[in-house]
């Protein structure tokens, strides 16, 4: 999860919330990523943050529309009371810890960082988005999602190694540092992981200026 800024006013969605104009605007706001799992989705859908069943009046409300992947949309369904990534008050990447598992088929580690019900609900939802495999289809989408996260993680480890190695040239160390910081940008796929893999790492925390993450 990452924080996004929603421009006001948005496109007219009073009659059709699935128009090209609306989905294009959402794609830009969320950097083409699912707002929950941060995968660059090939199959974008529109989520009603407050479910349509809960509040039908918000079906055509611009502020209630979120860019989501098919997998997460199927998992979320009618979940409510979760952190709002478009509300600047909640720094969502600080509230939920996400760590890549040590083996590819292991569960992704998701951990709430405070005791608020909203934070716990969000951690529970993200845990299901990343790990649920209770149907054949979800088993496949989980495997593909984990492979994409692992592919990015292998790059992260490569840059960390280059930064720390005595064999690296100064320009190689500088390049590695820039690439690691780039991975923490909100626009980067799975950015919450790379922030936490830096915050949890005494070495990287000491050499990267993580105050800006």
Contact 118, 82 (CB under 8 A): yes
Residue choice 25, 37, 92, 100 for contact with Zn ion (CB under 5 A)? 37
CB of 129 to Zn ion, least distance (A): 6
Residue 69 engages Zn ion in binding (rule: CB under 5 A): yes
Residue 145 engages Zn ion in binding (rule: CB under 5 A): no
Residue 108 engages Zn ion in binding (rule: CB under 5 A): no
Counting residues that bind Zn ion (by CB under 5 A) gives 5
Residue choice 4, 23, 26, 34 for contact with Zn ion (CB under 5 A)? 34
Beta bridge mates, 98: 110
Q: Which two tokens stand for residue 126?
A: 């993200």
Shorter beta-carbon distance to Zn ion: residue 134 or 205: 134
Beta bridge mates, 40: 33
The conformation of residue 197, written as its DSSP 8-state character, comes to H
Shorter beta-carbon distance to Zn ion: residue 10 or 32: 32
Contact 51, 64 (CB under 8 A): no
CB of 63 to Zn ion, least distance (A): 20
Give the three-state DSSP class for 66.
Answer: strand
Q: CA-CA distance, 198 to 180, in Å (whole number)?
A: 9
Residue choice 13, 23, 65, 72 for contact with Zn ion (CB under 5 A)? 72
- The 10 Å Cβ neighbour count of residue 193 is 24
Residue 180 engages Zn ion in binding (rule: CB under 5 A): no
Binding site for Zn ion (CB under 5 A): 34, 36-37, 69, 72
């Amino acid at each position: 999860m990452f924080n996004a800024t929603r421009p006001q006013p948005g496109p007219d969605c009073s009659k059709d919330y699935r128009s090209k104009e609306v989905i294009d605007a959402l794609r830009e706001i969320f950097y083409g990523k699912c707002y929950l799992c941060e995968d660059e989705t090939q199959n974008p859908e529109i989520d009603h943050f407050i479910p349509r069943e809960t509040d039908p009046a918000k079906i055509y409300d611009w502020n209630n529309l979120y860019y989501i992947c098919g997998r997460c949309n199927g998992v979320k369904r009618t979940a409510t009371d979760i952190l709002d990534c478009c509300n600047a008050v909640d720094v969502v990447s600080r509230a939920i810890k996400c760590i890549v598992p040590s083996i590819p088929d292991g569960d992704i580690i998701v951990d709430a960082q405070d005791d608020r019900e909203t934070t716990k609900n969000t951690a529970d939802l993200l845990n299901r988005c990343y790990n649920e495999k209770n149907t054949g289809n979800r088993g496949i989408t989980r495997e593909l999602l984990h492979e994409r996260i692992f592919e990015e993680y292998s790059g992260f480890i490569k840059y960390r190694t280059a930064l720390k190695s005595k064999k690296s040239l100064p320009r190689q160390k500088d390049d590695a540092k820039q690439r690691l910081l780039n991975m923490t940008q909100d626009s980067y796929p799975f950015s919450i992981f790379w922030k936490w893999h830096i915050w949890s790492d005494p070495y990287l925390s000491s050499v990267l200026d993580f105050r800006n993450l």
